[in-house]
Amino acid sequence: MNKRHFLLALAAAITLPSLPALANDARPFPAKAKRGKIRFGYAPDIAIDGKPRQLSPAARIFSEENLTVVPNMLADATFIVNYTEDMNGYVDRIWILTQDEMRLPAANTR
C-alpha cells in the first residue's frame, strides 16, 4: 500500500463513522427512555427530579453534541435529560438534551 492509499483509508476511517450523525439531526432515544431534571453529584451519586439515584458502574453520558462525557466533569451541574435504567434500577444511559430536543415530548409519553 502506498502513501496515497494509506491516507485515503485513514480519511475514510475517520469520517465514515460520523456520516450517520451528519445525515440525521435527531438522536434516536430508546422507547423506554424517561425524561427528568438531573443534578450530578460526585460519581456515582446523582439526583433526578430531586430524588437521590446512582449511576450504574458502566453508565454512559452523552453531551448535547452526542459525545461521551465523564461523570466527574459534570459535578454540581444540572440538566434536562433523557435517561434509561438497568434491571437493578441504576441509571445506565443519559442524554443531555439540546433546546430543540427539550421541546419534543419524552419517548415514554408518546
- pLDDT at res. 110: 45
- pLDDT at res. 14: 78
88 belongs to a structural domain: yes
Q: In a structure prediction context, what are the per-residue pLDDT tens digits for the chain, which is 110 residues long?
A: 676 666 667 777 776 665 555 555 789 999 999 999 999 999 899 999 999 999 999 999 999 999 999 999 999 999 999 999 999 999 999 999 999 999 988 876 54
Give the range of the structural domain holding residue 60, as residue numbers without chain letter: 33-109
Residues 6+ apart with CB under 8 A from 84: 30, 32, 33, 34, 91, 92, 93
pLDDT digit string, tens, across residues 61-72:
999 999 999 999
- pLDDT at res. 5: 65
Q: Total structural domains in the chain? A: 1
Contact between 71 and 94 under an 8 Å Cβ cutoff? The reply is no
- pLDDT at res. 9: 73
- pLDDT at res. 19: 54
75 belongs to a structural domain: yes
41 belongs to a structural domain: yes
57 belongs to a structural domain: yes
